[in-house]
Amino acid sequence: MTDQRSNGLKPLRVAIVGLGTVGGGVIRLLETNGALIARRSGRPIQIVAISARDRTKDRGIDLSAYEWVDDMTSLVQRADVDAVVELIGGADGPALTLARQCLAAGKPFVTANKAMIAHHGLALAGAAETAGVALKYEAAVAGGIPVIKGLREGAAANEIGRVYGILNGTCNYILTTMEKAQEAGNPRDFTEVLKDAQALGYAEADPSFDIDGVDAAHKLSILASLAFGTRLDFGGVDITGIRHVIAADIAEAAALGFRIRLVGMAQNGAEGLFQRVHPMLVPLNHPLAHVDGSLNAVVAEGNFVGRLFFQGAGAGDGPTASAVVADLIDVARDEYGDAFAMPVASLADQTKADAGARIGRSYLRFQVADRPGVLAEIAAATRDAGVSIESMIQRGTAAANDGGVLVAIVTHAGQERCIADTLARLAGSDSLLDQPMVMHILD
């Protein structure tokens, strides 16, 4: 039987601002699956206007059917625009201006802009509540994976104890490429693989936002607020990227039964809100160890539902466009809900947890001068800092980048502040040839 709900109903008329990879993907998706989307949303979704910086750029799609508007802010006042989709990016500037004006005009706003949501999400959510309209951002976290809906709706009845995962496809591509090269007997270091990632389009010309963990931290702060009902706190995320991971770390992790992944982790409890993006050693029996290439994955642990595992493409025109259009379908159905799963006034203030009090095992890697007494110096520093060593491995010059010796330590479970104390005791030592690397082990 044919679903006739969309026949004769007023379409949801949409303006799209930003016609890059994702904007083009949204147009292609609505053109390709328009009839199916109309049936699922109960009415057609129709693009009536578009806007971007460069009218003359060839985007590989025919835009002649849509009205081009140079002044994107004029779209929010148009009577023939019911909702605005923002795909230009940036935490501030034009994107934020557009969001504020759109919500103030009482029109639903859909965005893929994780930086803007991480920095201004609470204020925008408050504006949406005041106006009684939707603020939707499924595409801002993990591309096409419906993790926002999963936390806000599917797991809404649960108390979430912890949320964590692989939140940046660029970093995961680099790490898993290094991993595969190591397995093939042809170790490759970070810098070399990064250049390949840039050539293939997996990394930007300036990759700092990704490889230094900022992109993942934006996403983590959003997930934490949704999972725990706490106020957004991007500034409370401790961030370490992957630019100091070397081929020898990949090899040592494999020998110990782990794989290295950049993991964003958030946990809430009586001690406060813990948020960290950090390269970690993930056991081979954990699902995150098998998330390869540019894929993303998120794990949420609920007190009744147990462990939820979301995996899929974290970027790209198709997956991200899929998330954007899913939000438009909600708007077309008049399914709004609070942006952060509850009214902004109900979100809890939470102090930042003391990471030093966390208990766990860690991996420490040093590149040191090849001379007598160096191991004793490191052992003394760990002893005086209260670190219990589970294993210590010394490799020759082939494993180190600077002609020295590589020393890798795995600790017994202990407070993380003791690891920081160890590094402080070794700071300035002429035995160290490079910055030490610390990666905690995922329990």
Q: What is the pLDDT of residue 9?
A: 80
Of the residues 10, 149, 219, 352, which is catalytic? 219
| CATH number belonging to the domain at 356-441, selected among 3.10.129.10, 3.40.630.30, 3.90.550.10, 3.30.70.260 | 3.30.70.260
3-state secondary structure the chain: CCCCCCCCCCCEEEEEECCCHHHHHHHHHHHHCHHHHHHHHCCCEEEEEEECCCCCCCCCCCCCCCEECCCHHHHHHCCCCCEEEECCCCCCHHHHHHHHHHHHCCCCEEECCHHHHHHHHHHHHHHHHHHCCCEECHHHCCCCCCHHHHHHHHCCCCCEEEEEEECCHHHHHHHHHHHHHHHCCCCCCHHHHHHHHHHHCCCCCCCHHHHCCHHHHHHHHHHHHHHHCECCCHHHCEECCCCCCCHHHHHHHHHCCEEEEEEEEEEEECCEEEEEEEEEEEECCCHHHHCCCCEEEEEEEECCCEEEEEEEECCCHHHHHHHHHHHHHHHHCCCCCCCCCCCHHHCECCCECCHHHCEECEEEEEEECCCCCHHHHHHHHHHHHCCCEEEEEEECHHHCCCCCEEEEEEECCEEHHHHHHHHHHHCCCCCECCCCEEEEECC
**CATH 3.40.50.720 residue window(s) in the chain:** 12-140
CATH T-level fold of 12-140: Rossmann fold (3.40.50)
pLDDT of the chain, 443 residues: tens digit per residue: 334 344 458 999 999 999 998 999 999 999 999 999 999 999 999 999 999 998 888 888 889 899 999 999 999 999 999 999 999 999 999 999 999 999 999 999 999 999 999 999 999 999 999 999 999 999 999 988 999 999 999 999 999 999 999 999 999 999 999 999 999 999 999 999 999 999 988 888 899 999 999 999 999 999 999 999 999 999 999 999 999 999 999 999 999 999 999 999 999 999 999 999 999 999 999 999 999 999 999 999 999 999 999 999 988 889 999 999 999 999 999 988 899 999 999 999 999 999 999 999 999 999 999 989 999 999 999 999 999 999 999 887 555 555 689 999 999 999 999 999 999 999 999 999 999 999 999 98
pLDDT of residue 358: 96
Residue 403 confidence (pLDDT): 64
- Name the CATH architecture for the domain at 147-312: 2-Layer Sandwich (3.30)
- What pLDDT is attached to residue 384? 97
Is 57 a known active-site residue? no
Encode pLDDT of 323-371 as tens digits.
999 999 999 999 888 999 999 999 999 999 999 999 999 999 999 999 8
Residues of the chain with CATH 3.30.70.260: 356-441
Could you give the residue range(s) of every CATH 3.30.360.10 domain in the chain?
147-312
